[in-house]
Amino acid sequence: MSAHNEDTPILIGPRFLTEDESAGEALSGGEAVELEAGAEAAGQRLDQWLAARLGPEISRSRVQALIKQGAVSIAGKPVEEAKRKMVAGERVSVVMPAPEPSEPQGEAIALDILYEDDELIVVNKPAGLVVHPGAGNWTGTLVNALIHHCGDSLSGIGGVRRPGIVHRLDKETSGVMVVAKTDRAHKTLSEAFADHGLTGDLERAYLALVWGIPQRPTGTVDAPLGRAADRVRRAVVPENRDDARHAVTHFTVVERFGEGQKAFATASLVECRLETGRTHQIRVHMAHIGHPVIGDPDYGQAFRTKANRLPGPLKNEVNAFPRQALHAWLLEFRHPTTHVTMRFEAPMPRDMEELVGGFRKL
């Protein structure tokens, strides 16, 4: 059955699709598909119209994912809103990303295991380890390591024998993570993390080494987050923007470094607790209030020159530090089957501890 009609031509590269071809079938990895909206498209949501035009092979949720990935453009510009209303005569381009490997494979990667039972496993993730396979990181991830370690003890998530990721840490952020081994644990833990602990037992705390000393010993950053202009990073955005997501971070100053002197730059060790769990939330929020995480390559670049106002050895240490100085030191949650509250702590990794030690000498 055709996924289009004569008044909605579809062009792939230099050729038109024939009447017996489906746009969905033609959307193989890397191919661009262009569709023109007919009069009947006017006023329809982009995702709804595009899903209908692409046929049964590509669902509406898949279309929404493509929009989020920046793979859907109108007049040469990526579209940000799936609910955007269509206008007759518009040309919509879609580029299907190259297909991902069907399932990640197990790999013998060392794990720092804090706890494990039949339902879940708790690990202390090192900096530099990607959590889940993705573009550019199909191997060498935490998921690959867990598939190898857990083996047959994985009863399966959604019918597939793989670990259930319920929350994530950035590649260069270290610290405590819990991963589900069964569908039951995955569902319960996912609900707890989605709720951010508002109605249950969930607590997450991070330690961040930041530039400067906040004026108040405690504070709350309540600022919505959305996509930055580069569509990769995040930024504080107006709350009425379509992609704005509610985000709240509570912070407490644990230690102050260089306070009371003016010869050197100052810094602080801050504990951050999440009321919400947005991508890069702590990093964006601390930068937003003028105290970016030291070493952050995405949100702390404007403060890199502050290292020049440090004593020689500490300056060299800061400049050589390869990542953001952020560590998830505490995770507390209710076990999905025993309902016992479980608390796990992980000390700062050696590289961050040494960096903090250098600032303590100011």
> Is-catalytic flag, 170?
yes
Round to whole Å and give the CA distance between 313 and 168: 34
Q: Are 203 and 331 in contact (CB under 8 A)?
A: yes
The CB density around residue 194, as the number of other CB atoms within 10 Å, is: 12
43: number of CA atoms within 13 Å, CB side?
A: 2
Of 170, 296, 298, 351, catalytic: 170
| List of E strands, 155-279 | 164-165, 174-180, 202-211, 218-222, 225-227, 234-236, 248-257, 267-274
Q: Are 31 and 23 in contact (CB under 8 A)?
A: no
Round to whole Å and give the CA distance between 221 and 248: 6
Bridge partners of residue 343, in order along the sequence: 332
Round to whole Å and give the CA distance between 39 and 57: 24
Q: Are 196 and 333 in contact (CB under 8 A)?
A: no
Round to whole Å and give the CA distance between 29 and 193: 33
- For the chain, the 3-state helix, strand and coil shares in percent, each to the nearest 5, are 25, 30, 50
So which residues are the catalytic ones?
Answer: 170
